[in-house]
């Protein structure tokens, strides 16, 4: 999905249609399988897989009209030497800059939007991107937008400096906690329902008696 939505903006505006996006699916899928053959083993029925991807792309066009704007940056790399021994970086799916200078940070998600009350946690990733952009360019992004293709919903936020400063403080606390754990070699587990998907469950103290 990310590759196709990235490449869609290589087309002229009038060609940024659902058909163009769906036509890109087979070739972009083959390219990814050639790069990582193990991906093919994860798909039992390729037709169903591509049909599902087509449905997600169709949903995208109900949320945005890519023929009406230009994506200034795609997969933009943001970075900062956050602390003396902490390097912070990330890749933004899309960053749009309006003619008037306003910045919009957009991230695509193939799943469903978070339940009411959990939006703030989902937005933290984009606030980190906003922090990195502000530190590099001195401009506070005007809009943060999460696009959920799984259910066709949007989560938006107009960040303030207080939001960005709060994210920065949380990152500093997290870095400090990590370095304390390194010094003490103490890594307390935090079990949750996500444990069932964790690669390290077989060696985690919370699950190994």
Residue range of the domain that includes 84: 73-184
pTM score, whole prediction: 0.88
Number of domains in the chain: 2
Of 21, 50, 68, the residue at which a domain comes to its end is 68
Residues 6+ apart with CB under 8 A from 34: none
- Find the Cα–Cα–Cα–Cα dihedral 53, 113, 123, 196, rounded to 10°: -80
Print pLDDT tens along the chain (209 aa).
Answer: 999 999 999 999 999 999 999 999 999 999 999 999 999 999 999 999 999 999 999 999 999 999 999 999 999 999 999 998 999 999 999 999 999 999 999 999 999 999 988 899 999 999 999 999 999 999 999 999 999 999 999 999 999 999 999 999 999 999 999 999 999 998 888 899 999 999 999 989 898 87
Domain co-membership, 61 together with 135: no
- The Cα–Cα gap between 75 and 51 comes to 25
In this structure, the answer to whether residues 90 and 110 fall within a common structural domain is yes
């Amino acid at each position: 999905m990310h590759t196709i939505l990235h490449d869609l903006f290589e087309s002229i505006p009038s060609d940024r249609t659902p058909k163009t996006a769906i036509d890109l699916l087979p070739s972009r899928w083959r390219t990814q399988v050639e790069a990582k053959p193990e991906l093919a083993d994860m798909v039992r029925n390729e037709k169903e897989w591509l049909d599902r991807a087509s449905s997600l792309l169709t949903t995208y066009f109900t949320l945005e009209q890519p023929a009406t704007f230009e994506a200034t940056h795609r997969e933009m790399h943001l970075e900062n030497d956050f602390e003396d021994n902490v390097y912070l970086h990330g890749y933004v799916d899309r960053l749009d800059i309006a003619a008037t200078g306003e910045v919009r940070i957009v991230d695509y998600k193939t799943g469903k939007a978070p339940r009411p009350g959990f939006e703030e946690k989902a937005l933290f990733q984009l606030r980190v991107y906003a922090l990195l952009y502000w530190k590099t360019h001195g401009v506070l992004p005007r809009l943060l937008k999460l696009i959920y293709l799984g259910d066709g919903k949007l989560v938006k936020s107009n960040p303030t400096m207080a939001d960005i400063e709060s994210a920065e403080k949380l990152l500093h606390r997290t870095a400090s906690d990590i370095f304390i754990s390194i010094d003490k070699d103490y890594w307390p587990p935090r079990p949750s329902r996500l444990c069932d998907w964790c690669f390290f469950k077989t060696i985690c103290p919370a699950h190994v008696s």
